[in-house]
Structure 1
Amino acid sequence: MIHRNHLAKTVAKLQHNSLSVAEYIDQLRTRTEAIEPEIESLLPESERWSRLTTAAEQLADPPYSTRKPLYGIPVGVKDIIHASGFQTKANSSLPPEQLTGPEATVVRQLKSAGALVFGKTVTAEFAYAEPGPTKNPHNTNHTPGGSSSGSAAAVAAGLCPLALGTQTVGSIIRPASFCGIVGFKPSYGRVSAEGVIPLSQSVDHVGFFTQDVAGAEIAASVLCDGWQTVPERISQPTIGIPDGPYLQQASSDGLDCFYTHCNRLEQGGYNITKVPVLPDIETTNEYHERLVAAEAAMVHHEWYQEHDEKYGEQTAELIEEGYGVPTKQIAIGRSSRMETRDHLTDVMDNHDIDIWVAPGACGPAPEGIDSTGDPIMNLPWTHAGLPTIAIPTDDSINGLPIGVQCVSRFNADEHLLNCASDIARTLQS
């Protein structure tokens, strides 16, 4: 079911007319009609193909040298992100008219770069944990991860080469790892969250999925504020392994694969440094989870007072928990974000670490679609707001992908993606 649909290669073909936008949309239609009924990654849309065909026809046809960076690229949009002409339902039973809002900045940026909206992708309810119907393209008996389930599955299955997601705990990196693709969560605030239904405004990140690191660099250059092209590194970065209680949260199978990946990087010439870090991970986890609950209760207060019976069980539990979080604990959770960032940065400075590498998830995608899996391996990096990229590997467990996540300093997103290309090549060779 997996099909190669690399964004960078597709951009090159569309830029130079070796593939027309109309031809590409026809290819995607054939692929989607064959695969989508099995994985259910998209919100149904009766006029999708006529809409996309019309949009393709309306694209300007400038000289190759002046074509925009995402010329003709269809992009999946997670259904908590507003896009003109589409309802935003957030996988919720609330009346859609109550969830309306102006088109998200990220959607406007993509359109300005020549992209087309492929359609809305399935999300867990309000980007939390109540899952939608989406299945993992590698094995439809397993979850694709959440909450950006539809975006990850659509990209992994080759239905579109780029899709937007969000992450408040692990909702980009985990599904990317489960589905065997690239997921990029930028530094906190580097990509605009305007026009996105929030879950926890202190920690919500907007990011995206591709099948290739080169494609992620193209998308990041469009979406990340103040993006700068940086020269290729002459020397390989020093990689830090976050040793201690954080790492031990992964499953035994997940850790075995992770250490295999570390050995492969070392054999590829990387300097690997194992460093004790995040010694009080349980407290960090608690601060983050309580902060998310409290801020979710703030976001949903008016809706929940009117429509509490329409909320899914897990979302309702989060909101109810949030009502009980004292104001002082909210302040502690917010300040903990900066403290965790400073701690991680100090360790990097003291040990000359360029990039952290860690398991992308606890292990492979769990069986069943009633749960989206545990985001615990992603939590501290999200809490600290550090740029993070999920990189697929050639390894799997029972046919299910196992990915790694790479993390760099705050606002060093360009550096992270620059390093990620060679790390990906090493792990996929």
Structure 2
Amino acid sequence: MHYDPQRLAPLVRALRRGDRRPVTLAADCCDRLDATEDDIDAFRPEAGQRDRLRREATALAARHDDPATRPALFGIPVGVKDIFHVDGYTTEAGSSLPPAAITGAESAAVARLRDAGALVFGKTRTTEFAHFDPPATRNPCGLGHTPGGSSSGSAAAVAAGTCPLALGTQTIGSVGRPAAFCGIVGFKPSYGRIPRDGVVPFAPSVDHVGTFTADVAGAAHAAEALCDGWTPVDPDERPVLGVVEGPYLEQATDAGRAGVDAAADALSAAGYDIRRVSMLDDIDAINERHRTLTAAEFALTHAEWYDEYGDRYAAESVALLERGEAVGVDELAAARAGRLDLRRRIGERIASSDVDLLLSPSAPGPAPAGIDDTGDPVMNLPWTHAGVPALSVPAGRVEGLPLGLQVVAPFGADESLVAWGEGIERAVEDIGSVAT
């Protein structure tokens, strides 16, 4: 079966003009779900989903019958990772805990999408509490491979063409890595740029809300609806791009490094100024600090739930909780402080290297075989720890599986990253097979 993602930007234009109707698009997405879900298993099952969407789409169209006043995401079906609270749904968070113990008020991100005219298509599968214990979701680009985690269902749903937009979260690498594995675009804005209210927390100091779309133009539409104070920009010049080198890059596989080199060559051929930037020499310490922080905050977040429902947690989550419980107050404070120090250092290194954006692999390599391991998030970790914005775009394939190029900007430069990202995306989209 061949899967084609739906592109958000042309759908937005067609729906707002009236060339497409929300009820028809919702029905088309349901048809796509029927055709793909046995293979992909991206969504939690929902009884009466098609009828619900028909009712909601019909009501939406009646409220906005004038094309001139239709909201930005009018009629767009959205997949929502099942750690976001959504009115009308329970929240299971990929766990065996009673939904009544977890479910809460609708998340701010979902509310913003609804205000922009979007329709909640369904809840997408996730690993337990966005940590591990993978669901049965498969990669649309290779059914024998993981789609990544923990935003497994959201990435797979967009890649399979079931919905044109999906919400995910990233605490280490759960937007950039699944986007890369599934051959789509993942955008993680600067820390806090999309509110996390109404999302089951993992480690609040580094939890980010992000999006999955087929392309960067779609990510821009979603960001405008979701991000605080989003102001689109139109840069006059191409950015200077810095390929990150050193111990951080050495964590990638040969395929991952070859993919970045191929992307850099394609960008250079397209007229971009490419430079090499040595940085993150202390990546081992950064990795350890982030893991300490996430374990400690996971233990704090889950203390009451674990006291009552400890026997329902997966072994991997129990191990993380136990590690987190052993972290002292001073160690946690130092780990939290390290975020701001790394953010400052990244900004200073970008400035001192005379580059605008940094390039690196979105994942160590292509999606691993099997669905019991969601892959290593290590290539995303430092950017998540620092809270800087990161964009993953498809850039080549290895043995038919997608590779992702991770593009990083200084903290707060989200609008420039997305604006420049469209040109970068065009320059690398025809790379094809990457030699390793």
Compute the TM-score of the two structures, normalised by the length of structure 2: 0.97
Q: How does 1:70-109 map to 2 (within 5 A)?
A: 70-109=73-112
CA distance in 1 between counterparts of 2:259 and 2:83 reads: 34
| CA shift for structure 1 position 297 | 0.1
- Residue 390 of structure 1 corresponds to 392
Aligned CA RMSD, in angstroms, stands at: 0.8
CA distance in 1 between counterparts of 2:142 and 2:183 reads: 12
CA distance in 2 between counterparts of 1:2 and 1:403 reads: 18
Pick one of 127, 147, 151 that aligns with 1:148: 151
Q: Which amino acid aligns with 1:235?
A: E
SS at match of 1:166: strand
- Residue 23 of structure 1 corresponds to 24
CA distance in 1 between counterparts of 2:27 and 2:92 reads: 28
CA distance in 1 between counterparts of 2:28 and 2:84 reads: 26
Mapped contact 2:247–2:280 kept (Cα < 8 A): yes
- Structure 1: gaps of 5 or more residues: none
CA distance in 2 between counterparts of 1:217 and 1:257 reads: 25
Residues 32-89 of structure 1 deviation map (CA, whole Å, 9 limit, x = unaligned): 1010111100000011100000001111233212110000001011000000000000
Q: How does 1:254-273 map to 2 (within 5 A)?
A: 254-273=256-275
- Residue 308 of structure 2 corresponds to 306
| CA shift for structure 1 position 329 | 1.1
Pick one of 245, 250, 253 that aligns with 1:251: 253
Pick one of 226, 239, 242 that aligns with 1:240: 242
- Residue 231 of structure 2 corresponds to 228
- Residue 119 of structure 2 corresponds to 116
Residues 130-170 of structure 1 deviation map (CA, whole Å, 9 limit, x = unaligned): 21110001111100000000000000000000000000000
Mapped contact 2:5–2:162 kept (Cα < 8 A): no
CA distance in 1 between counterparts of 2:225 and 2:23 reads: 23
Mapped contact 2:5–2:158 kept (Cα < 8 A): no
CA distance in 2 between counterparts of 1:255 and 1:279 reads: 17
SS at match of 2:120: strand
| CA shift for structure 1 position 342 | 0.8
Q: How does 1:212-223 map to 2 (within 5 A)?
A: 212-223=215-226
Pick one of 66, 71, 85 that aligns with 1:63: 66
Residues 383-426 of structure 1 deviation map (CA, whole Å, 9 limit, x = unaligned): 00001111012x21121100111010111100100000000000
Q: Which amino acid aligns with 1:314?
A: E
CA distance in 2 between counterparts of 1:197 and 1:288 reads: 19
SS at match of 1:127: coil
Moved more, 57-66 or 77-86: 57-66
Q: Which amino acid aligns with 2:54?
A: T
CA distance in 1 between counterparts of 2:231 and 2:83 reads: 29
SS at match of 1:110: helix
What is the aligned-residue identity percentage?
A: 48
| CA shift for structure 1 position 334 | 0.6
| CA shift for structure 1 position 121 | 0.3
CA distance in 1 between counterparts of 2:132 and 2:235 reads: 39
- Residue 187 of structure 1 corresponds to 190
2:345 counterpart of 1:343: yes
- Residue 433 of structure 2 corresponds to none
CA distance in 2 between counterparts of 1:178 and 1:226 reads: 31
CA distance in 2 between counterparts of 1:296 and 1:323 reads: 9
- Structure 2: gaps of 5 or more residues: 431-436
SS at match of 2:43: coil
Q: Which amino acid aligns with 1:406?
A: V
Moved over 4 A (4+): none
CA distance in 2 between counterparts of 1:316 and 1:368 reads: 23
Residues 238-276 of structure 1 deviation map (CA, whole Å, 9 limit, x = unaligned): 101111000000001111121111111111111111011
CA distance in 2 between counterparts of 1:251 and 1:37 reads: 32
| CA shift for structure 1 position 180 | 0.4
Pick one of 368, 373, 376 that aligns with 1:366: 368
- Residue 419 of structure 2 corresponds to 418
- Residue 177 of structure 2 corresponds to 174
- Residue 399 of structure 1 corresponds to 400
Residues 358-407 of structure 1 deviation map (CA, whole Å, 9 limit, x = unaligned): 101000000011110000000000000001111012x2112110011101
- Residue 7 of structure 1 corresponds to 8
| CA shift for structure 1 position 27 | 1.3
